[in-house]
Amino acid sequence: ELKVEQNPLFLSMQEGKNYTIYCNYSTTSDRLYWYRQDPGKSLESLFVLLSNGAVKQEGRLMASLDTKARLSTLHITAAVHDLSATYFCAVDIDGGSNYQLIWGAGTKLIIKP
């Protein structure tokens, strides 16, 4: 069965701290995506990781992909309240033009002042 597992599913942390969200997947894929969703809102693309060893950074967020380990990480550096949201990883199982994604359950991140 194709699975994408995120952990933790819930994370409450203090501002200024560092933390990592993990995304493990069970199928061969070299395309992985991270999305952010604010409460009651739509999804926003954060990172597109398209090859083994890909690393992308945007502000206090950094994402990486290890296709051999079937693992992606989303690292938060010196968290600020504005980063509070739910973060989803999604893995492309098609590799073709239709981009069928398997989604993780999401990590709800709460950053306390």
Binding site for other proteins (CB under 8 A): 31, 33, 35, 41-45, 48, 50, 88, 90, 92, 96-101, 103-106
Cis ω before 113 (30° cut-off from 0): no
- Supply the minimum distance, in Å, between the C-beta of residue 1 and other proteins: 16
Looking at the Cβ atoms of 30 and 66, the one nearer to other proteins is: 30
- Supply the minimum distance, in Å, between the C-beta of residue 54 and other proteins: 11
- Supply the minimum distance, in Å, between the C-beta of residue 16 and other proteins: 28
**Regarding beta strands 10-14 and 107-112, do their DSSP bridges make them parallel or antiparallel, or are they unpaired?**
parallel
- CA angle, 103 as apex, 38 and 99 as ends, to 5°? 110
Euclidean distance between CA atoms 110 and 37, whole angstroms: 12
Looking at the Cβ atoms of 85 and 90, the one nearer to other proteins is: 90
